[in-house]
Structure 1
Amino acid sequence: MKLCRTRRWLLLLMLALGTLLLAGCHRDDGVEWQLNNVSGHMPDLDFQLVDDHGKNVTAQDYRGKVVLLYFGYTHCPDVCPLTLAQLHVVMQRLGPLADGARILFVSVDPARDTPEVMHAYVNAFDPRAVGLSGPAREIEALSKRYRSAFTREPDRADGQYEVSHSSAIYLFDGNGKARLLSTPSNTQDQMVHDLHLLLSLGTHS
């Protein structure tokens, strides 16, 4: 499946990240993770953006919640809606535990993704999803912070364009610590398994 026309170098970037930092690293204090364990390899959750209600928010506003951070955009033709639909199913499978998690959908297309647009989009998938946007420089800084990547395609004749972007999901614990990374090669079962563990650990892990 085409991943928002993600260029080969973007895919290689993610593969390199997995190879260099994550290969064979699945244990953490006796916990058997099934996703890629990035504990100690990535910085804490930190940002200053605008949520889909138009409110200025920071990472501190989500302390106490397990955060699933994903970079995408509302005009994405394929991978973004598919990913958010899968995350909704994951949340359903977690049952009441899912109330301790938040999906943070960060737009890499802030020019078109206003708070109103983001609100309608994320709420069509899951009530625990939050759309985040803001100045382009803040989005770029956050993307670089987690070694993600995106690039805007040239405008077409109708003025429309697509944005190529990485497709990993970053999981942070309730303390804002980067813990896990999910890539398209990981299964829904693996994410449910690890989120169940992460949510059960609470904010004292």
Structure 2
Amino acid sequence: MRQLKPSLAFIAMLLLGLATACSRDEGFHAKSIAGLMPALEFSLTNDEGNAASAQDTAGKIRLLFFGYTSCPDICPVTLGRLGAVIQGLPEERRERVRVLFVSVDPQRDSVAKLHAYVDYFGDQVIGLRGPEPALRKLAQRYRTTFGYGDPDETGFYEVSHSSGIYVFDGSGAARLLFRPDDPLAAMQDDLGQLLDEAS
């Protein structure tokens, strides 16, 4: 008996259907990373000098962002935007959201410096730091990286890092990727949806 071979058109339709299913945004504005990234997990030190892990903020929506306090542009702008998004939420909902700012510049970002920096951006921001190998491992876990530029005559150097913000739900599952050009209203709406899920 002759075996029937699927047509190229059928294969193309099947692949298109799979791609559409994988990229479905589940009603969110931001890019969905559900099932594409591992759950939130880390072992670092917070901006008060205490050991910190994902369990410390379990049950809250977590926004993970890599940066450094000497950053001239991306970091302050991003943290300012996130602060505006969170402040736009009803007061009782703000306490259910945390921004996890991971410094990838352990040489300059002491506990005290990190604490002063994140404190400027609001109570919902937690600074995290650690030795470079631990930071490399965490960055690799979420498929990103960072690097150091050459110091200038004053010793200042820039740190290259991602501008993406990884959004995790209360259970620690990766859900969304916020990007620099995402509108504040869209980000706020997405956080609202995640908070509704946990209600």
- Tell me the TM-score range normalised by the shorter chain: 0.7 to 0.9
1:21 Cα deviation from its structure 2 partner: 11
Q: Find the partner of 1:50 among 15, 40, 45.
A: 45
Are the equivalent residues in 2 in contact too, given 1:67–1:171 (CA < 8 A)? yes
Code of the residue aligned with 1:141 in structure 2: it is K
C-alpha separation between the residues in 1 aligned to 2:185 and 2:105?
30
1:25 Cα deviation from its structure 2 partner: 2.6
What is the match of residue 87 of structure 1?
A: 82
Total equivalences in the alignment: 180
Answering whether residue 146 of structure 2 is matched by residue 150 of structure 1, we say yes
1:189 Cα deviation from its structure 2 partner: 1.2
C-alpha separation between the residues in 2 aligned to 1:22 and 1:126?
38
Q: How does 1:7-86 map to 2 (within 5 A)?
A: 24-27=23-26, 32-86=27-81
What is the match of residue 195 of structure 1?
A: 191
C-alpha separation between the residues in 1 aligned to 2:97 and 2:82?
11
The normalised TM-score by structure 2 is 0.87
Are the equivalent residues in 2 in contact too, given 1:35–1:191 (CA < 8 A)? yes
Q: CA RMSD in A?
A: 1.7
What is the match of residue 170 of structure 2?
A: 174
Name stretches of at least 5 consecutive residues in structure 2 with no aligned partner.
1-18
Q: 1:75-95 CA distances to partner (integer Å, 9 max, x unpaired)? A: 000110001111110011112
Q: How does 1:91-170 map to 2 (within 5 A)?
A: 91-96=86-91, 97-170=93-166
User: Which consecutive aligned stretches of 4+ in structure 1 deviate over 2 angstroms post-superposition?
Assistant: 20-25
C-alpha separation between the residues in 1 aligned to 2:66 and 2:79?
11
The normalised TM-score by structure 1 is 0.84
C-alpha separation between the residues in 2 aligned to 1:84 and 1:95?
19
State percent identity of aligned pairs. 43
C-alpha separation between the residues in 2 aligned to 1:176 and 1:106?
16
1:115 Cα deviation from its structure 2 partner: 1.1
Larger radius of gyration: 2
1:22 Cα deviation from its structure 2 partner: 10
What SS does structure 1 have at the residue aligned with 2:83?
helix
Cα gap change, 1:190 to 1:95, in 2 (>3 Å): same
C-alpha separation between the residues in 1 aligned to 2:68 and 2:158?
9
Cα gap change, 1:139 to 1:107, in 2 (>3 Å): same
Name stretches of at least 5 consecutive residues in structure 1 with no aligned partner.
1-19
C-alpha separation between the residues in 1 aligned to 2:22 and 2:35?
14
1:150 Cα deviation from its structure 2 partner: 1.0
